[in-house]
């Protein structure tokens, strides 16, 4: 084994690393020229060469790597990873025991002690996401540990290396074990989802919205007309329909959303002909709905944090107020807007501020019914609050 490299940390950052802050920021490093190849194990030290923590070098848009251990003598090898995985499994015993949900996150990056690495479980198949070339250099140790800790049917991987976190399209995302059927049918609170583990960046469902979908189905959907915007594979529409919605309207720009949404309805025995699936820019649809004076009882807003279409650029931090104002105008009195964002660059408080502002500008009144952040399997590091990116608010429109 090569010697760890000493990386000198600027004095103003030393205390927060000692206290467990996990993200190695570029600004905190004094001798950047020491960083040569991603995957290097680093000994973070102070100006007097006193040990602070071990970290690895891996470039993401967030930073230059992640802290792994506050102990100098801890070896970063397959036993290190095995320990972390076993801890992660213990933390999720409830999920493994629950027969009504077979898809959940088994390992959530820095929340489980290793930034840049997440692992999702889909009915016994596991999907590893590597967020940097740095963490990918540990692939053989990580696979060895994973095979020891899990009963798995098959393992898949997604590489999201470049600094924007976008997916690198490899010919094959399959790693080992047996291949999953396509689609692979998993369950979430007794609802079916069709999952494709080897078909590009996204597999068909965002697991972090599990509690929101359940709440929508169990408490809000009955008898309602539901507009689901940025609908992707229609997960919210399926839950609304199963909760007794009168009708659902799903709107997404991507052509694939039409067959994908049809598929999600049909594997849940919902009559697709009763549901509308519209391939269109949401902002055009809002204009159309306003012109036709359409009103919806329930409107779901779940935009990407950043998106560019032919006519519009949408950035959650800049444009969410505008999006809310469009939605408010086509929501019936006493109707509910489910406002969601996965943008990590603003807080729940700021998000609540956007809601205030949108209603104020339209001279309307509202009441917050309930709100959500990440579910338990998306474990958050208490020293890294920005890791809790999900913000969802159920808003009742009063006037």
Sites of contact with ligand SAH (CB under 6 A): 206, 209, 230-233, 235-236, 252-254, 257, 281-283, 302, 304, 307, 309, 312
C-alpha 279/C-alpha 273 separation (Å) is 16
Question: Nearest approach, Cβ of 120 to ligand SAH (angstroms)?
Answer: 14
Tokens matching residue 153:
């049917």
Question: Nearest approach, Cβ of 302 to ligand SAH (angstroms)?
Answer: 3
* Of 106 and 235, CB closest to ligand SAH: 235
DSSP assignment letter at 220: I
Question: Nearest approach, Cβ of 200 to ligand SAH (angstroms)?
Answer: 12
Sign of CA pseudo-dihedral 228, 231, 236, 242: positive
Question: Nearest approach, Cβ of 188 to ligand SAH (angstroms)?
Answer: 12
Report H helices in the chain: 11-18, 78-91, 93-97, 133-136, 139-149, 210-215, 235-242, 257-266, 282-291, 316-329, 348-361
Question: Nearest approach, Cβ of 167 to ligand SAH (angstroms)?
Answer: 14
DSSP assignment letter at 289: H
DSSP 26-57: GGGBS-GGG--STT-EEEEE-TT--EEEEEEE
* Of 82 and 338, CB closest to ligand SAH: 338
DSSP 134-174: HHHTTHHHHHHHHHHH---SEEEEEE--STT-PPP--S--E
Question: Nearest approach, Cβ of 256 to ligand SAH (angstroms)?
Answer: 8
* Of 14 and 205, CB closest to ligand SAH: 205
* Of 230 and 366, CB closest to ligand SAH: 230
Tokens matching residue 53:
């923590």
* Of 89 and 201, CB closest to ligand SAH: 201
* Of 59 and 323, CB closest to ligand SAH: 323
C-alpha 28/C-alpha 177 separation (Å) is 42
């Amino acid at each position: 084994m090569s010697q760890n490299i000493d990386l000198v940390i600027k004095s103003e950052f030393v205390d927060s690393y000692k206290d467990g802050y996990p993200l190695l920021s570029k600004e905190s490093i004094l001798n950047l020229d020491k960083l040569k190849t991603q995957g290097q194990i680093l000994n973070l030290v102070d100006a007097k060469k006193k040990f602070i923590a071990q970290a690895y070098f891996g470039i993401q848009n967030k930073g230059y790597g992640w802290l792994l251990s506050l102990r100098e003598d801890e070896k970063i090898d397959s036993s290190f990873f095995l320990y972390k995985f076993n801890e992660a499994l213990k933390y999720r015993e409830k999920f493994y025991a629950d027969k009504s949900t077979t898809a959940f996150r088994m390992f959530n990056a820095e929340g489980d002690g290793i930034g840049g690495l997440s692992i999702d479980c889909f009915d016994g198949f596991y999907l590893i996401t590597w967020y940097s070339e740095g963490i990918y250099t540990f692939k053989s140790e990580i696979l060895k540990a994973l095979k020891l800790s899990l009963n798995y049917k098959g393992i898949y991987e997604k590489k999201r290396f470049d600094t924007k976190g976008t997916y690198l399209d490899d010919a094959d995302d399959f790693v080992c074990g047996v291949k999953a059927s396509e689609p692979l049918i998993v369950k979430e609170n007794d609802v079916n989802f069709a999952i494709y583990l080897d078909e590009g960046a996204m597999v068909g469902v965002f697991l972090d919205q599990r509690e929101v979908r359940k709440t929508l189905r169990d408490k809000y959907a009955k008898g309602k007309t539901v507009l689901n915007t940025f609908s992707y594979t229609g997960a919210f529409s399926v839950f609304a329909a199963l909760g007794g919605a009168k009708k659902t309207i799903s709107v997404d720009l991507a052509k694939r959303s039409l067959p994908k949404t049809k598929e999600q309805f049909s594997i849940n025995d919902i009559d697709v002909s009763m549901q509308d699936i519209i391939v269109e820019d949401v902002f055009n649809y809002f204009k159309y709905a306003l012109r036709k004076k359409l009103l919806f009882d329930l409107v779901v807003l779940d935009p990407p944090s950043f998106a560019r279409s032919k006519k519009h650029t949408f950035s959650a931090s800049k444009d969410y107020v505008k999006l809310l104002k469009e939605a408010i105008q086509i929501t019936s009195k006493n109707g509910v807007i489910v406002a969601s964002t996965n943008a990590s660059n603003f807080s729940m408080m700021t998000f609540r501020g956007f809601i205030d502002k949108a209603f104020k500008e339209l001279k309307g009144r509202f009441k917050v019914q309930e709100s959500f952040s990440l579910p338990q399997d998306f474990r958050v590091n208490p020293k890294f609050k920005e890791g809790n990116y999900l913000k969802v608010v159920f808003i009742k429109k009063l006037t």
